[in-house]
Amino acid sequence: MDMLIIAERINSSRKWMARAMEARDAAFVQHEAGKQAGAGADYLDVNAGAFVGEELDCLKWVVRAVQEVTDSPLCIDSPDPAVIKGVLPLVNKPPLINSITLDPARLNGILPLVAEHGAKVIGLCQSEDKMAESIDDKLRLAGQLAENVTKAGIPLSDLYIHPLVYPLATHPPSAMVTLAAIDRIMHELKGVHTICGLTNVSYGLPERKLINRTFLVAAVARGLDAVILDPTDKALFGALKAGLAVAGKDEYCMDYIAAFREGRLA
């Protein structure tokens, strides 16, 4: 089974990237795009959310700059339907949209765009007033996301459910709850995918990358088939490839061996 890798570095929440975006430093952004594409990313996430009131203009500039140097498809990262609608005409390949929730304005504003443009979409297990914490809540909200996507005429295979994981430092059970939810979603909602970002789980802890790697390997064993990460982090990428091999998702370890020969493991 293929693991979908969404590269996370072109994101305005990173101070050095925000400075490059503000300065319209195309060479810097393009270098990051090329580096991540070369490291094996399937999609390049692009986010300009830090630029309140200017997000659309900035994201348009980022999309144009990135597409000048790579043909990798993009993950358009914004909660604002108007921003997504404004950017989509510039995108060269069907994108992944990050993200919908069960908030009606966001759901009804974004799903028609997903259907119109043949995009894939990330769905957060989050409603207008609730972020799912228990296994049952995560599964219930995942089911509601699947229902809404189906009603919009979007195949379930284009839905990537993010069950949400919270920092271990403040929510000690969250990692194990999320792992159990991934397992149940993959078994009970046939056809959907599951996806996670890794930064939340380690927030507030030392040696965060070690926690991130460990959680990723455990999630892969539970059925996770997409991840938002930094593909240029060789230790993280190596943990992913090793985890897929151990979980029986890399026949004869061929991808692992290929990554080793390319010098991609650490």
Domain ranges of the chain: 4-233, 234-266
d(CA 227, CA 219): 10
pLDDT for 130 equals 86
Beta-carbon count within 10 A of 163 CB: 28
Q: What angle do CA 51, 56, 62 make, to 5 degrees?
A: 85
Number of H helices, E strands in the chain: 10, 8
* Closest to 245 (Cα-Cα) out of 224, 215, 217, 266: 217
pLDDT for 2 equals 83
Q: Where are the beta strands (DSSP E) in the chain?
A: 4-7, 43-46, 74-77, 96-100, 120-124, 159-162, 193-197, 226-229
Task: Indicate whether 71 pLDDT > 60.
Answer: yes
> Which residues, in sequence order, are bridge partners of residue 47?
11
75: pLDDT confidence band, cut at 50, 70 and 90?
very high
Task: Indicate whether 218 pLDDT > 70.
Answer: yes
The per-residue pLDDT of the chain, averaged, comes to 97
Domain boundaries 4-233, corresponding CATH code: 3.20.20.20
Q: Could you read off the pLDDT of 19-32 as tens digits, one per residue?
A: 999 999 999 999 99
4: pLDDT confidence band, cut at 50, 70 and 90?
very high
Residue 143 in tokens: 């089911």
266: pLDDT confidence band, cut at 50, 70 and 90?
confident
Residue 73 in tokens: 């498809």
d(CA 99, CA 164): 12
259: pLDDT confidence band, cut at 50, 70 and 90?
very high
d(CA 202, CA 199): 6
pLDDT for 1 equals 55
% of residues, the chain, pLDDT over 70: 100
Query: Average pLDDT for residues 122-151, to the nearest whole number?
Result: 96
Task: Indicate whether 176 pLDDT > 90.
Answer: yes
41: pLDDT confidence band, cut at 50, 70 and 90?
very high
What residue type is assigned to position 257 of the chain?
Answer: I
Q: Could you read off the pLDDT of 84-102 as tens digits, one per residue?
A: 999 999 999 999 999 999 9
